[in-house]
Amino acid sequence: MTEDELRALVKSIVTEVVKGAPPAPSSAPEEDRPAWSRGPKHRPLTPARSERALSHLVTTTPAKIVTGRTGTRYLTASYLGLRADHAIALDAVASEVDEAWATAQGWLALRSRSKDHAHFLLHPDEGRRLDDASRAKCAASADKGVDIQLIAGDGLSAHALQVNGPALMKALAAAHTAKGFKVGKPLFVKFARIGVQDEIGVLTQAKSTIIIVGERPGLGTGDSLSIYTAFAPKLGQDNSEKDCISNVRDVGFPPERAAAKCAELMKASFAAGGGGVKLTGGAPVARVS
């Protein structure tokens, strides 16, 4: 096949796909055709749809589906929506929360080793350990030997913690207390990565830790939190020993439901003597979203 013939073939296929029609079948024997064109007949890109079903999907998810197009381009409304959602994600990563706000929630305010927000983003390991002053403060003021130590961290979206953190922390305390667990006074860590729960667990001699952090935001998801649980905490505890409940926010997994699910998960972890792969019998780490 010459270069001109190849260009013509590509042009004809692209034209047919854009029009929503299946490519014309090749007259060459299947064994002589390129791999991508062999096998079952091409199916149309736009199969028959139920307008009612599509309407239901659009109204029940923030995902960008059934947005329509103008030729090969997004509709103007879709393009502007994507730009806005991208801005939400950028703002979430750049957001910060003051320790005074955390103290007002009744949380003991601590800090990681990160010097500032830029240092926190560029050096993840620094967010996994407390600075010296916070280690001393935690050792002196945090509850010791509890069943579950609750921790709130800003993570990669302090905005998410401000929006959904107070309700989630209250729900977690209530749900686990109702299951018979002794829950420690809530802590807050500024510039926190998930792994900071390991050091706090060791310092407080807690049987388990639960940390909530702002998730790395996707498009338009700057208010989403994740819950990470760890049984028998130790420094550098592997993620395979932890469990996660993600997308905690009103339009995802509402705080009260997420807290109830977390309490069930922790009950099972205590019964199994561990979480993650131990709890799931060798299966991947449980992740609920």
Instruction: Give the tens place of pLDDT for each residue, 204-262.
Output: 999 999 999 999 998 888 999 999 999 999 999 998 999 999 999 998 899 999 999 99
User: Could you tell me where the beta strands, DSSP code E, fall in 103-171?
Assistant: 108-111, 148-155
| pLDDT level of residue 10 (50, 70, 90 thresholds) | low
In DSSP terms, 149 is beta-bridged to 209
For range 103-120, the mean pLDDT: 97
Domain ranges across the chain: 94-288
Residue 47 clears pLDDT 60, i.e. is over it:
no
Grouping H, G, I as helix, E, B as strand and the rest as coil, residue 48 is coil
Contacts 24+ apart (CB under 8 A), 67-72: 71/18, 72/18
| pLDDT level of residue 119 (50, 70, 90 thresholds) | very high
* Mean pLDDT of all residues belonging to the chain: 85
For range 133-146, the mean pLDDT: 97
| pLDDT level of residue 65 (50, 70, 90 thresholds) | confident
User: Could you tell me where the beta strands, DSSP code E, fall in 120-255?
Assistant: 148-155, 187-190, 208-214, 225-231, 242-248
Give which of 203, 228, 236, 231 is closest to 286, Cα–Cα: 228
Please report where in the chains the tokens 């996660």 appear, as a residue.
244
**What pLDDT score does 33 carry?**
52
pTM: 0.77
Instruction: Give the tens place of pLDDT for each residue, 165-175.
Output: 999 999 999 99
Residue 2 clears pLDDT 80, i.e. is over it:
no
Q: Which of 24-33, 77-86, 263-272 has the lowest mean pLDDT?
A: 24-33
Kindly report the CATH number that applies to the domain delimited by 94-288. Answer: 3.40.50.11240
Pairing of strands 69-70, 73-74: antiparallel
**What pLDDT score does 202 carry?**
97
